[in-house]
Structures are given as structure tokens and as C-alpha cells.
Amino acid sequence: MELFQSAWAQGGALGILLLVVVLVCTGRLVPRSVAKAWVDLAKTNAEIHQAAAAAADARADTAVNAMVEQTAAMREMQGVMRTINDRLGTPPVPPPGWMPASAGGP
């Protein structure tokens, strides 16, 4: 058969894919209006995802800035507490997790 001897038949899946792409691009397989609607939909989705990514980046930056401010405030408070302890002569605050021996600690 002459159909199976043609260049398209020898190209296999790649030939069929190329044929489909050519037919879609020329508007013979899918109307151009439908193809244009698909492209517009893809562009709209890309814009939506870019806006969502920008919003997520802004939220992450806000969270990081809040943590930096909280850490600075804790360090400042630690300095104030040490100054108070030094002036009053009271012992420093024990580290977290420390328990006296009478309570079962080390």
C-alpha cells in the first residue's frame, strides 16, 4: 500500500504530532477562535499564578520582618532584665528547662 510507504508513515508518532500541530496552527483541526481562547485562558491563568506568588512572597517577607522585630525585642528585654538583676543583686534567671534538685531536676 502506498499509504504506509509515505514519509508521514515513516515519521511515526513524531510525524503525527507535527501534522496535528500544523493543522491546529493553520486553523484546520481546531477553529482559530478556540485556539485563541485557549491561549487567552493560559495567559489569564499565568497572571493569576504570578499575582498569587507575589502575594505569598509579600506574606513571607512580613512574617520574617515580624520575627526579626520580635527577636530584637526579646534581646532588648533580656538586656533590661540583666540590668535590673545586676542593680538589685538578684541571681540571674535560670535557663529554660532548668529545675531545682528538689523538683526532680539535676
CB–CB of 8/14 below 8 Å? no
Alpha-carbon distance values, 77 to 15, 63, 88 (Å)? 72, 21, 16
Q: Among candidates 98, 79, 60, which has minimal Cα distance to 71?
A: 79
CB–CB of 92/85 below 8 Å? yes
pLDDT by residue (tens digit) across 3-25?
566 665 666 777 788 888 888 77
Assigned C-alpha cell, 27? 486553523
CB–CB of 31/39 below 8 Å? no
Q: Where are the domains of the chain?
A: 10-85
pLDDT by residue (tens digit) across 28-73?
877 888 888 989 999 999 999 999 999 999 999 999 999 999 999 9
Q: What is the pTM of this model?
A: 0.48
